[in-house]
Structure 1
C-alpha cells in the first residue's frame, strides 16, 4: 500500500521594514493522504552588504520552514501516541 503526502512551499520576498536588506519568508504546508494539514514558517534576511542572490534566501527560508514543519509533525505524532497510551510521550529528534 502506498500513501502520498504532499508538501508545498510558497516563498515571499519583501523589503525589511528597517530598510537594511531583503527578507524572504517561506510557508510550508504538508497535506497527508487522509487530508490532515500541518504548516511551518521560515524566514531569511539578506544584510545590505551581502550579494543579492535570491536563491540563497529562498533556500534558507525554505529550510527553516521545513524544519518548523518537521518539529510540528513530531509534536503531533507525540500527541497522537500520548492519546493512545494515556501517558505523556516525548519523541526525540
Structure 2
C-alpha cells in the first residue's frame, strides 16, 4: 500500500548589492516547521548573475534544513528505541 506524503517548502530571496540572502521554511507532514537562512556574496570582479546567487544562497539554506531534519529524525529514533542512533553519511 502506498502512502502519499507532501512537504510544503517556501523560499524567499533578497538581493542587496553583491549579496543574496535566502530565507527557507519547510513544513513537514507532522506539522513541524523548520526555518533556515543562506547567503551568497558575489566577488566585485564577477559578472552580475542573480540566478547564480539565488542558487548558492538557496542551496546553503536547504543544507541547513537538511541538517535540522536529520537531527529531528535521529532524536525521534533515539526516543523510540531508547538508544543513540548514528547517521550514515553517504
- Which segments of structure 1 move beyond 4 Å, counting only runs of 4 or more? none
Structure 1 residue runs of 5 or longer lacking an equivalent are 16-21
Q: Partners of 2:82 and 2:14 in 1: how far apart?
A: 41
Q: Partners of 2:55 and 2:19 in 1: how far apart?
A: 12
Q: How does 1:26-65 map to 2 (within 5 A)?
A: 26-65=22-61
Deviation at 1:34, TM superposition (A): 2.7
Structure 2 residue runs of 5 or longer lacking an equivalent are none
TM-score by length of 1: 0.85
- Measured against aligned partners, the alpha-carbon deviations of 1:43-71 in whole angstroms (never above 9, x if no partner) come to 10001101011111001100111111111
Q: Secondary structure of the residue that 1:83 maps to in structure 2?
A: helix
What does residue 71 of structure 1 align with?
A: 67
The count of corresponding residues between Structure 1 and Structure 2 is 87
Q: Partners of 2:84 and 2:30 in 1: how far apart?
A: 25
